[in-house]
Amino acid sequence: MRYRVKPESLTLWDLLTRKPRRRAQKKEPTRAQPRPLSTNSRPSPARARAQERYEQVTKDMLRAHHVRVRKWRTHMSGVAWEVRYADGAVARLIESPKPKGPVSAAIFLHEIGHHAIGLGVYRPRCLEEYHAWMWSLARMREFELNITPRVEARVRESLEYAVWKAKRRGLKRVPEELVEFLSSRE
């Protein structure tokens, strides 16, 4: 006769020798699955050219500003920092999304912009954010990358947040460049 044992009193041997329960198989959905729009695996020529431009801009900017990507992020955020070694060497690092579209390109260029303008050159920090975004937008115009309404909204949201955070941390006087980004969060 086999006794039933409560799960909390099972031993390791009981767990290893126990027969697995059979699970009911999932039913297939009754609706037909949507078909892909295109069976062609190649991107359109226009999309391929745009991707080539993003890749070229990425290589050029990393080389020109001596920046190394520590990690390509999968989400739309980034960070830039420097590491100073005892021998005097400086490593310029960023994490950002890989430029594949206008928003990811703007974020990538913004992080490069922190190194291009100089980390810590502008005070308060929200002013550095402003200059990094303006540098990013200027490079996008220079390389003829599309500045979409979503890019403009991202810049605005980022600067509103930076100003709000600075005020929350005790900023008394908002720099002139940032007055338009005083948000309704207050």
pLDDT for residue 5 is more than 60: no
Helix (H, G, I), strand (E, B) or coil at 145: coil
User: What is the model's pLDDT at position 47?
Assistant: 87
Q: Into how many domains does the chain fold? A: 1
Q: Look up the pTM and report it.
A: 0.77
Model confidence band, residue 89 (pLDDT cutoffs 50, 70, 90): very high
Determine, yes or no, domain membership for 112. Answer: yes
The rounded distance, in Å, linking the Cα atoms of 180 and 167 is 14
Determine, yes or no, domain membership for 22. Answer: no
Determine, yes or no, domain membership for 75. Answer: yes
C-alpha distances out from residue 169 to 33, 124, 186, Å: 52, 11, 13
C-alpha distances out from residue 152 to 20, 88, 136, 156, 158, Å: 56, 39, 11, 6, 10
User: What is the model's pLDDT at position 42?
Assistant: 74
Model confidence band, residue 120 (pLDDT cutoffs 50, 70, 90): very high
Average model confidence (pLDDT) for the chain? 89
The angle at the Cα of 76, spanning 134 to 117, to the nearest 5 degrees, equals 30
Helix (H, G, I), strand (E, B) or coil at 79: strand
pLDDT for residue 1 is more than 90: no
The rounded distance, in Å, linking the Cα atoms of 155 and 136 is 10
Model confidence band, residue 44 (pLDDT cutoffs 50, 70, 90): confident
Range of the domain at 142: 47-170
Q: Beta partners for 93?
A: 68, 81
Percent of the chain whose predicted confidence (pLDDT) is above 70? 81
Determine, yes or no, domain membership for 109. Answer: yes
Determine, yes or no, domain membership for 143. Answer: yes
pLDDT for residue 79 is more than 60: yes
User: What is the model's pLDDT at position 176?
Assistant: 96
CB distance 137 to 128 below 8 Å: no
Determine, yes or no, domain membership for 90. Answer: yes
Percent of the chain whose predicted confidence (pLDDT) is above 90? 72
pLDDT for residue 186 is more than 80: no
Determine, yes or no, domain membership for 11. Answer: no
> Looking at per-residue confidence, does 12 or 80 come out higher?
80
Model confidence band, residue 43 (pLDDT cutoffs 50, 70, 90): confident
Residue position matching structure tokens 């390389």: 143
CB distance 147 to 134 below 8 Å: no
- Give the mean pLDDT of 55-72: 98
Determine, yes or no, domain membership for 103. Answer: yes
CB distance 106 to 137 below 8 Å: yes
